[in-house]
Amino acid sequence: MSDNVPDKHTWFHDGLTPDLGTLHKVDAILYSGRSAYQSIEVMRLRSFGTCLVLDGKIQSSEADEFVYHEALVHPAMLSHPGPRSVLIAGGGEGATLREVLRHKTVENVTMVDLDDEVVSVCRQYLPSFSASAFDDPRVDLIVGDARKFMEQSDLRFDAIIIDLPDPLEAGPAQLLYTREFYSFVRDRLADGGIAAIQSESSRWYDLDAFVAIVRTLRDVFKFVSPYQAHIPSFSSLWGFTAVSDSLQPELMEAAEIDRRIAARISSPLRSYDGTTHRGMFALPRHIRSSIDAAGAVLTDERPLAVY
């Protein structure tokens, strides 16, 4: 092994920015392959257990995926009075689907993911992530482009959960972070509906993508509610955004969140509750100031690209 380049079979380097990364001791590489869209690896790391790695970046770890997926799904869905129909864009490992199906009001879930190989690999090597959610009769899994689905479908949903991979330059998700795409999301929401969107890093030295996403969403929706949660396997705080033309989850009190969890969620949550909810929406001043500053929105002609 070179003094400067770790052996990938011993150490995994997860690049966070062009100037910063983390090293994880590798116990085993359980799967390594490439789909038509991206590289796919499943690794067992000393630090976070079994992890899904796409294009060289950790997407989910068995140690802390519950923090990310509970944060993505539940603030938006609990702010809705009773979501029955849900659309998930992305989320190939199945954990987002698992969390959506915890809601007793849900009658049907349409999940659209471009890469069926990710779904297949995760069902085989990471079965605890989906917890058999793909077998639930309420689920309609569609292998396809989420943007094309939203543009062409006439279905409308009470809640839409956007759990897409990073918008790498020229990657398959790059045009799923633009004003045009978010307009399609708005069109697919039923009256009184709400969407939750994975919104990239909110770490203090790497805010540009989060700020650009929130600013772009403000150009489309009446109410835009950014929030964050610390995801240990990402080595950072991570941004999310809830958007609606009628609902504002940040206004909900902790006691009301806890009441709705008790009444509407079928099994105990591990990270999210009323107290957590209030903290997630309390963004620090430097993030609020960055979001409120003037700046361009993301468009198909000028999309977002991250490292």
Active-site residue numbers? 163
Give the Cα separation of 217 and 243 in Å (integer).
8
Give the Cα separation of 162 and 33 in Å (integer).
25
Give the Cα separation of 306 and 97 in Å (integer).
26
Give the Cα separation of 76 and 242 in Å (integer).
6
| 275-295: b (≥16 Cβ within 10 Å) or e | ebbeebbebeeebeebbeeee
Give the Cα separation of 238 and 306 in Å (integer).
14
Give the Cα separation of 174 and 182 in Å (integer).
13
Q: Which two tokens stand for residue 40?
A: 């796919």
Give the Cα separation of 250 and 40 in Å (integer).
36
